Amino acid sequence: MLHPSEVDLTVYPDECDAFGHLNQASFLSLFERARWEMLVRGPGIDVFTRAGAWPAVRKTVIDYHAAAFPGDVLRFHQALTHHGRTSFTMRQTARRTKDDVLIATAEFVFVCISREGRPIPVPAEFGDFMHARRASGGAQRLTVNGVSLAVEIRGDGPAILFVHGYPFDRTIWRDQIDALDGHRRIAPDLRGMGESDAPDLGYGMAIYADDLAALLDTLGVDEVVLCGLSMGGYVIFEFLRRWRSRVRGLILIDTRAEADGAEARRARDAAAATARESGAEAVAEAMLPKVLSAATLEHDPEAAERIRRIMAATPVAGMVGALAAMRDRHDSTGLLPTLAGLPTLVMVGEDDTVTPPDSARRMAAAIPGARLVVVPGAAHVPPVEQPAETTTAIREFLRIVG
């Protein structure tokens, strides 16, 4: 069943022009219809008038991405991207259900006004409804590409998208998100991990990358710096294959470009069997000493416990899906020389044995102009093991990218 923030509408012939395309002017009506329909299915069509308010449109921006035709069913997704005292901004996307093609995106800025035409507060009931699917810690829930993702969004400025590894979640970037003001920091839980939906099927690097592109569409972000850790890097390579022109800069942390060899592929299947038979806790216990440095394990019990808990809380379906996605991922070594001109920072924990410094050195050498930073005292998770050093390196890099 669709969440109330998603509404399907059919394109009618009378909404199309002489060429049979859904007419640009009709989009305004369809976006409006989708918003009202969402209220009908949610807090009620009179949620504003009950509070003596009326939402007046102040500004509209529509981007038309692809043509739609009579009979097409469009799925409209509504998200609140700004919630002020008397105004709010709603971001809407329309995708064709049969092929998931993005047809149009729109942003509407509203001001709530009284009968006398004076600005008055946005009704609390409306805000509560739009935020009802928030995740913990102030993160939002956004439905993209057919799944509901928990996403932390903080600040304004050029966008940076943080992509965590396996089996982690968005909170590994906690310190970087707190510190990197001057940027719009976006950190989703990938499908199957953290608080995002964990479907039984439907995992693959291309699918994770599609989720991220759809998330950026929903948030109205055209260009972005991508920052990925380990499996997050594998996802980013897939993103680059499809949407290189959207990427302004690249930060690759404890990741590698090579695909899995035969032995690594067998190990993925064995790990999936452990997850299925013994659960996420068992996977977490086995992985902890591999992903953290001896220094972290010995001197930073808080960080070690944080990582253990994140791993142990990962849904088994998400673990199994991610393991298959990593097993079957493409080799990306051929992609690296083509990244010439894209500002790139490669980072690696000095003690990483999962994706060792040698892989990082090879990767940095193959990307023209890439910088390499080796983080002492960290293994596979520098953002948590050495948060200050990691943040400083990212901040310096962002200064160069601008």
Phi, psi values for residue 316, rounded to 5°: -60, -40
Residue 74 or 326: the one with the smaller Cβ distance to ligand MLT is 326
Least CB distance to ligand MLT at residue 359 (A): 10
Asked if 166 touches ligand MLT (CB under 6 A), the answer is yes
- CB atoms under 10 Å from CB of 300, counted, come to 18
Which residue of 160, 187, 231, 316 would you call a contact of ligand MLT, by CB under 6 A?
A: 231
**Cβ 51 to ligand MLT, closest distance in Å?**
47
Q: How far is the CB of 379 from ligand MLT (least distance, A)?
A: 11
Residue type, 160: I
Closest contact distance (angstroms) between CB of 397 and ligand MLT is 21
CA of residue 105 relative to chain centroid, distance: 17
Instruction: Select the residue whose beta carbon is closest to ligand MLT and give its number.
Output: 165
> Which pairing describes strands 344-349 and 224-229: parallel, antiparallel, or unpaired?
unpaired
Three-state DSSP class for 43? coil
Least Å from the CB of residue 64 to ligand MLT: 37
Distances 163 to 66, 101, 227, 252 between C-alpha atoms, Å = 28, 23, 6, 10
Q: Please list, residue by residue across 194-220, b when 16 or more beta carbons sit within 10 angstroms of its beta carbon and e when fewer do.
A: bbbbbbeeebbbbbbbbbbbbbbbbbb
354 part of the interface to ligand MLT, by CB under 6 A? yes
CB of 355 to ligand MLT, least distance (A): 6
In the complex, minimum distance from the CB of residue 243 to ligand MLT, in angstroms, rounded to a whole number: 21
Asked if residue 165 binds ligand MLT (CB under 6 A), the reply is yes
Whose Cβ is closer to ligand MLT: residue 326's or residue 363's?
Answer: 326
Pick the closer one to ligand MLT by CB: 190 or 367.
190
- Tell me the pairing of strands 147-154 and 184-188: antiparallel
Q: Does residue number 326 form part of the binding site for ligand MLT (CB under 6 A)?
A: yes
Cα distance between the two ends of the chain: 43
* Of 106 and 271, CB closest to ligand MLT: 271
Asked whether the bond before 167 is cis by omega within 30 degrees of 0, the reply is yes
Please identify, using beta-carbon distances, which residue of 181 and 285 lies nearer to ligand MLT: 285
Residue closer to ligand MLT, measured from CB, 7 or 251: 251
| Residue number with CB closer to ligand MLT (7 or 231) | 231
Instruction: Kindly state whether residue 55 participates in binding ligand MLT, applying the rule CB under 6 A.
Output: no
E strand or H helix at 127 = helix 124-131
Which one among 230, 293, 332, 391 touches ligand MLT, defined by CB under 6 A?
230
What's the DSSP call for residue 189? Answer: P
- The DSSP letter of residue 121 is P
User: Which lies closer to ligand MLT via its Cβ, residue 222 or residue 358?
Assistant: 358
Burial (Cβ within 10 Å: 0-12, 13-18, ≥19) of residue 326: buried
Which positions lie near ligand MLT, rule CB under 6 A? 165-166, 230-231, 326, 354, 380
